[in-house]
Amino acid sequence: MSQRLKLEVKALNAIAGGDLVILVSDKLAPPKAAEDWIGTGAHALVARAASAERFKGKALSGLTLLAPDGAGYERLILVGTGPAAERDKLDFAALGGAIAGRLGHGRSAEVIAALPESELSAAEIAEIGLGLRLRSYIFDRYKTKSRDKDQSEPKSVTLRVDDPAAVKKALKAREAIAYGVELARDLVNEPPNVLFPEEFAERAGKLEKLGVEVEILDEKELKKIGMRALLGVGQGSHRESCVVVMRWNGGAKGDKPVAFVGKGVTFDTGGISIKPAGGMEDMKGDMAGAACVTGLMQALAARKAKVNAIGVIGLVENMPDGKAQRPGDIVTSLSGQTIEIINTDAEGRLVLADVLWYTQDRFKPVFMVNLATLTGAILVALAQENAGLFSNSDELAERLAAAGKATGETVWRMPLGAAYDKMIDSKFADMKNSAGRHGGSITAAQFLQRHVNDTPWAHLDIAGTGMGSPNSETNRSWGSGWGVRLLDRLVADHYES
| Rounded-to-integer distance, Cα 414 and Cα 396, Å | 14
| Rounded-to-integer distance, Cα 170 and Cα 490, Å | 18
Q: What residues contact 413, with CB distance under 8 A and at least 6 apart?
A: 389, 390, 391, 397, 401
Of 157, 94, 155, which Cα lies nearest the Cα of 471?
94
SS3 label, residue 424: coil
| Rounded-to-integer distance, Cα 186 and Cα 114, Å | 33
DSSP 491: H
* Strand pairing category for 242-249 and 213-217: antiparallel
E-assigned strands of 346-402?
368-372, 387-391
The CA dihedral of 26, 29, 33, 38, to the nearest 10 degrees, is: 120
Q: What residues contact 389, with CB distance under 8 A and at least 6 apart?
A: 397, 400, 401, 411, 412, 413, 414, 458, 459, 460
| Rounded-to-integer distance, Cα 443 and Cα 420, Å | 6
User: H or E segment at 52?
Assistant: helix 42-53
Catalytic residues: 275, 349
Sheet with 411-413, strands from edge to edge, namely: 213-217, 242-249, 308-318, 258-268, 368-372, 457-461, 387-391, 411-413
Of 311, 495, 305, which Cα lies nearest the Cα of 396?
495
Of 315, 313, 361, 357, which Cα lies nearest the Cα of 337?
357
SS3 label, residue 401: helix
- Residue 311 near residue 249 (C-beta atoms within 8 A): no
Burial of 370 (0-12, 13-18, 19+ CB in 10 A): buried
